[in-house]
Structure 1
C-alpha cells in the first residue's frame, strides 16, 4: 500500500535515527495514528498506524473493527535502522474505529493500546482494562452523548443483588427526590455500575432531550444463554425485574415510556424481549444487535472447531430473530436499529451481521413497524454504541418529537 509523505521521508532519510527522533517528537505532540490527505481521492485519507518498540519484538499487528483483513495484511513493517513499526492504509474519511496492537515476542503475544492515540475512550467492555485507542478520520461523524461533562448535574447509581445473585444497578436522574411524576424507564442489558449509559442519560437530561428517566442496569449471569432468545430471561425482565424496580422507585408502568436496549447479543435480546413482551416494553433500541444468531449454526460451528473446515455448499439458515418476527403478528413496539456498515462477522455469522440486519429491517417494513434503521461508518464497535444510545433514546422518547429519518 502507498506510504504517506512522513513515512516516505523516514524511509528515504540518510540518517534514519535522526529522522525517527524528529517524527516521534511531532507525534507525541499531535498524537497517532498519522492521518494525511490521499493524493488522488479527497474522500479518502492515508492512515499510518505506528508503534515504537522499546524492546526486541518479532511481529506487530494492528487489530481494528473495520477492515476484515487477515492478520498478515494487518502486520506492521519495521522501518530499517529504526525502532518504528508502521502500516499505512487508505481509509475512507468518515471512518471511526477502535484499535489496538498485538505485539509478538518469544512464544507469546500482548495486546497493547496506542499510548499516543489522538482519541482514547473508557469503553464499557474494554479488552485492555484501560481506555481504548480510537481512530477518528477527518470526516467522521462527531459523537458526544457519552462524553462526560464537568459542569452538569449528575444522577445517582445504587446497586442491589437480587435473589438469584444477579447484580443490578438503578440510575435515577438529578432532582429525583423532587419529581412527582413516575419516571420513564430504560433497561440496559450487560449493565454495570459505571456503564456509559449513565453519562449519556446525564447529558440528555441536562439538554432537555428526554423526559426524566431511570435506568436499570442488568448484570448477566450467563450472557451467552440469557441474551440468545431465551424466553425465561425475557419473562424475568418483564414480570420480575420491572415490578421489583417499581416497588423501590417511582417508575412508569406504561410500555410506551419503557425502553429496552443492548449491544451485540444484548441487542438481539432486546428485539426478542420486545416482541415477546410488548405489554412491558414498548420501545426496542438495538445497537449492532446480533441479528445473525441461530442456535443450529452455532452448534455446528463449535462441533466443527478443530475437526476441519465446514463442508463446501453448506447453507445458512434464516436467523432466529428474523423467523420470530416473520411468524408473529406485529407487536405494539417501536424499534431503533443500528449496525456498522463494515460488520461482516463475527464467525460463525452466516449471513453476516450487516446482511442479516438489512433482512431484519425489510421484515420490519413488511410487517408495518414504526422503526428507524441506520448504518454507521464503523464495525462491531463500542466507540459508536456509547454515543448512539443517546440518538436512539431521543428518537424513541423525545416528547418534542425527533427526526424520524
Structure 2
C-alpha cells in the first residue's frame, strides 16, 4: 500500500512498475500473519474485461465478493480501500491457510449515488453494481464466471488441497459426446475414455459417474481433461453421464426431488451411454455406478440413493441443499429451523432394502447452518447402518473446493 502511494506521486511509469510487483504477489497468503491481500486496478478492468467508461463514470466503491465471507450480513467486510492517487483498490483479510475459495469484484459508480442509492451498512437494497470480470492479476486459476455473471478467480491457502489435475496442457485423448433424448427431455454431455480401447483392443471395464450440472463441469471446469490427468496419476478410469440444465429455472425443476427426472436419468440416460460405451469397446461395470452432485445436485443425488438404491454403488453429495422440502415456499433460510430436515427424515423412514450402500457427504465449514444439517444427516446414516463419510472443508458454497474434493473421492491421488 505504501509503495503504491509513493509510486503514484512519482509518476505513471513508476506506478505501473509498482503495480506489476504487487499484482504478481497479491491474493497470495502471508504465512506469517495468515492474511491475504486482494488488489484490483480499474484500468485493467476497463481495458481488458469490462466496458467501463472511466471518463464519464466514477467508481465510488469496490466490493470484494468472497463466498460466505464478505456477503449478506458480512457485506461490509468486503469493502475495499482506494489507494490515493491511483485507480487501485485493495483489501487485506485474515484467512486460514487451509481456505480455498472463489472471488470476484463488484463496482459501484456515481450513477448509483445519483439514483439515491448511497451505500448503507450491509448490502444495498437495490444494488445496481456493475458486474466486473476480474483482471488477470492475482490469480492462481481462472474459474470463469459465477452465477451472477461476474468473473471469478481462485484463492488457495498454502495448506489447502492442491488441484493438480485441472491443468489444460495435455490434449484430450478420450471423447466428449452430446445428445438430446426427446422422449425423456434429457440433454446429455458424456465423456468416454475411448483412448483406452484404442490402446488395448480387448474391451475395457470402467466405472460410470452420473453427474448433475454438466454444463458447468464440462465447460467451466473441463472435467474430462482433469479426469484424464488424474488417471495418468493412478486413478481408475471412469465414464461420465453428465445431465445438462437448459437454464436456472429448468435446473430447479429437475433437481428438486423430481422422481420422473431421476428415473429418466437412470434408465434412458444410462441406456444411451452404455450403448455408446459398448460401441467404443468399453464395458461399464454395473457394480461401479456412482452418482454425484453439488448444492441442489447433491440433494438430488441423495434422493436418488433412496429412490433407486440398487442403481448406484456410491452417492457423493457436496453441500447438498438440505433446506429443501416439498412445502411451498421453502428457501435456504429454512436451514435455521431446529429440525433435521425433510430429506434426512426420508432416510430415517426408508425401509432397509431401500437404503444406499455408500454415501459421501461434503460440506464447507463456512456454510453456516448447512454444517449442522450435514452432521444430522450423517447421524441418520449411522443409525441406519449405512456406510458413509462426512468431510468438512475450509470453504463456502463453492466450486473452488467442490472440484478438488470430487476428484479425490473418485480416487485421484493428492500426492505424487
TM superposition score normalised by structure 2: 0.78
How many pairs does the alignment contain?
366
The residue matched to 1:186 in structure 2 has which SS?
Answer: strand
Say if 1:197 and 1:389, in contact at 8 Å, map to a contact too: no
- The separation in 2 between residues aligned to 1:196 and 1:17, in whole angstroms, is 43
- The separation in 1 between residues aligned to 2:82 and 2:11, in whole angstroms, is 13
User: Residues 16 and 256 (structure 1 numbering): CA distance in 2 closer, same or farther, change over 3 Å?
Assistant: farther
1:180-329 matched pairs, under 5 angstroms:
180-192=203-215, 193-194=218-219, 196-210=222-236, 212-221=237-246, 222-250=250-278, 255-296=286-327, 299=329, 315-329=337-351
Q: Which residue of 1 aligns with 2:176?
A: 157
The residue matched to 2:141 in structure 1 has which SS?
Answer: strand
Say if 1:185 and 1:252, in contact at 8 Å, map to a contact too: no
Say if 2:190 and 2:239, in contact at 8 Å, map to a contact too: yes
Decide which moves more: 369-378 or 120-129: 120-129
- The separation in 2 between residues aligned to 1:282 and 1:274, in whole angstroms, is 9
Q: Which residue of 1 aligns with 2:141?
A: 120
Q: Which residue of 2 aligns with 1:90?
A: 94
User: Residues 300 and 128 (structure 1 numbering): CA distance in 2 closer, same or farther, change over 3 Å?
Assistant: closer
The residue matched to 1:299 in structure 2 has which SS?
Answer: coil
Question: Could you list the runs of 5+ residues in structure 2 that have no partner in the other structure?
Answer: 44-53, 113-127
Q: Does 1:334 align with 2:358?
A: yes
TM superposition score normalised by structure 1: 0.80
Deviations along 1:224-277, whole A, 9 cap, x unmatched? 122111221122222332223323333667553100111111111111102210
Q: Does 1:36 align with 2:40?
A: no
Decide which moves more: 271-280 or 175-184: 175-184
Q: Which residue of 1 aligns with 2:49?
A: none
Shift of 1:129: 7.2
User: Residues 281 and 392 (structure 1 numbering): CA distance in 2 closer, same or farther, change over 3 Å?
Assistant: same
More helix by share: 2
Shift of 1:50: 1.6
Shift of 1:85: 1.6
Say if 1:262 and 1:285, in contact at 8 Å, map to a contact too: yes
User: Residues 179 and 124 (structure 1 numbering): CA distance in 2 closer, same or farther, change over 3 Å?
Assistant: farther
User: Residues 256 and 149 (structure 1 numbering): CA distance in 2 closer, same or farther, change over 3 Å?
Assistant: farther
Q: Which residue of 2 aligns with 1:348?
A: none
Q: Which residue of 2 aligns with 1:305?
A: none
Shift of 1:179: 4.3
Say if 2:70 and 2:77, in contact at 8 Å, map to a contact too: no
Say if 1:288 and 1:338, in contact at 8 Å, map to a contact too: yes
Say if 2:277 and 2:283, in contact at 8 Å, map to a contact too: no
Q: Which residue of 2 aligns with 1:349?
A: none
Which of 63, 86, 108 is the aligned partner of 1:61?
A: 63
Q: Which residue of 2 aligns with 1:176?
A: 197
Deviations along 1:317-366, whole A, 9 cap, x unmatched? 4322111111113424212221111112xxxxxxx222211111121122
Say if 2:107 and 2:131, in contact at 8 Å, map to a contact too: yes
Say if 2:324 and 2:330, in contact at 8 Å, map to a contact too: no
The residue matched to 2:312 in structure 1 has which SS?
Answer: coil
- The separation in 2 between residues aligned to 1:14 and 1:244, in whole angstroms, is 62
